[in-house]
Chains A and B, each alone.
Chain A
Amino acid sequence: MAANEYVVRAKGLTKEYRMGEEVITALNGVDIDIKRGEYISIMGPSGSGKSTLFNAIGGMDRPDTGSVFINDVDMAQLDARELAYLRCHTIGYIFQSYNLIQVMTALENVTLPTVFAGAPSDEGIERAIEMLNIVGLGHRLHNRPSQLSGGQQQRVAIARALVNNPAIILADEPTANLDLKTGEEIIQLLRKLNEDHGVTIISATHDLKMLNVSDRIVWIRDGRIAKIEERADIEINIGEMEGH
């Protein structure tokens, strides 16, 4: 059924920013449909409108015109409480700088979304421990973010994003602050969660390591979609590169 095939649909998104006298067009008519269970990367140089598109999809910022539908619900029609429900239950966020709450332990950070969802505290803690085990941090439950490495902090953030069993994970440059090896591990973890849990992953990135794991890559340039590549096409390209 069509209603269920696409988890995110964006239509005719535009957004302008005013910088003094100058008007900057961040998005200039973007349409994109994202299928349930897809691993999709939004690629583009900084200033291309990538982050603006990403924030519009995540309900963190409103486009000037156009609509974003999450599970066929138009985000612009939602009131504050419905939007909060969506952020709590349907979307999990992962950020470049992890955005863990510094004064809370790993476990408390991961438990927080379950508190907002109204889960009883023992059930929330149980789910948070389960998630931290899945991301491989079962032994660091009571450490504060300052006692964890960047990669470990990002794992906590991933556990936090997943704890309410969302349909979508939005990852904003999740590997930008990590070294090559740790970044690779985080990418593999996201891919594994995508395969095991069927969660749709939408990532804004300019990390080329993401290319290998993405089902589709959306290239953004000057506020428009320059091209959309399927993984099959990319593998051929990589094969060709290796062949020479």
Chain B
Amino acid sequence: MSVEASSKRDPGAGARAGVQKQIQLPFRVVWAISIKSIRIRLMRSLITASGIFLGIAFFSSVRTVGLFPVGLDAEAIAAANRQKWLAIMALLVCAVGITNAMLMSITERFKEIGTMKCLGALDKFIVMLFFIEASLMGVIASALGWVAGWLVTVGAHLFSGGGKDLTLNFGFRSLGEMVLSVVLGTAITLIAAIPTARNAAKMQAVVALRSEI
């Protein structure tokens, strides 16, 4: 299998050894490329991120309403049950929204993926690139979405005279909700993004290049 390296200085002489392996880019290089990739398509990234943001904001607002104390009569218990269903529905809507946003944002870059493969990108690099982009967007948009949903809900509650419900206990439970929202938001984002990116990376370059959006 081995091929002697030619000593003659001509194009491709460095590559004459033929069966060398492509280097794997160090994490900080892939990280830098991901950050740049988000920044240079800022508008597109914001639209994708707003899908995550809105989903989590909805989920957060439903969950925050559930944190306020309710009475113990039959009507209040029924309301609390409705609240649970609402939270599940909110999570589903949010999952569909995020999945849709991530699928679109990767699918429209199939051609770019094919081009990068032709320029020597490894499949692993492509998956890592989308992993970092999706994680960053997932974490930031979920955190902001949670804050927005929480602020709106708490604001509305204060406005209707519920100031006494904002106890220390409420604060702690809110922080717990925040962790839950960010973990769920990021997880859904990655579950939507990674299989799509992996499929795209595994495609024969010619198939990825042929895709038209």
Contacts and interface: CB of A to CB of B under 8 A. Distances in A.
Interface of A: 3-4, 7, 36, 55, 58-62, 70-74, 77-82, 84-90, 93, 95, 99-104, 112-113, 115-118, 160, 164-168, 197-200
B23 interface: yes
Contact of A88 (B1, B41, B119): B119
Contacts of A87: 117-120, 205
Nearest to A94: B118
9 contacts: A61-B205, A71-B3, A71-B15, A73-B18, A81-B21, A89-B12, A95-B209, A99-B115, A116-B120
Contact of B123 (A73, A80, A115): A80
Interface string B1-38: 10110101011101110111111110001000100010
Among A58, A93, A103, A113, max chain B CB count under 10 A is at A103
A85 B16 CA distance: 11
Nearest to B41: A103
B122 interface: yes
Contacts of B10: 36, 167, 198
A90 B15 contact: yes
Contacts of B119: 87-88, 93, 112-113, 116, 160
Interface size class of B (residues with CB under 8 A): 35 or more
A59 B205 CA distance: 9
B204 interface: yes
B16 to A, nearest CB: 6
A73 B19 contact: yes
A125 to B, nearest CB: 14
Interface in B114-154: 114-123, 125
Nearest to B109: A101
Interface in B154-177: none
Among A72, A74, A197, A199, max chain B CB count under 10 A is at A72
Contacts of B22: 81-82, 84-85, 88, 116
A117 B119 CA distance: 9
Nearest to A36: B10
B191 interface: no
B25 A165 contact: no
Given A73-B1, A90-B15, A166-B11, A101 B21 contact: no
B72 interface: no
